[in-house]
Amino acid sequence: MARYEDFGAEYCLQLVDINIIKEIKQKLGGEELLQFVNKDVALHCEAMYCALGSPGVTLNNAWHVFSDMLPLVFEDVN
């Protein structure tokens, strides 16, 4: 978007009132609207991530971090 002119494109973004966006988001569910799991699951996963030493996550290691976390997250289920 920063260099649209370099590619022969037009600036077509529309300015919006951020307060309207916040109001719509709140009506649709607030912060929970953007959550993939409930708070309890998120807290449990965060604890397991910390148990691994909170490794930095990059595109190169995300799957490895996930694979390391997976058995920890579900160890109480078995």
pLDDT averaged over every residue in the chain: 89
- Tell me the pTM: 0.56
pLDDT by residue (tens digit) across 19-42?
999 999 899 888 888 888 888 989
Q: How far is CA 51 from CA 19, 34, 54, 69, in A?
A: 39, 25, 7, 9
- Quote the pLDDT of residue 36: 87
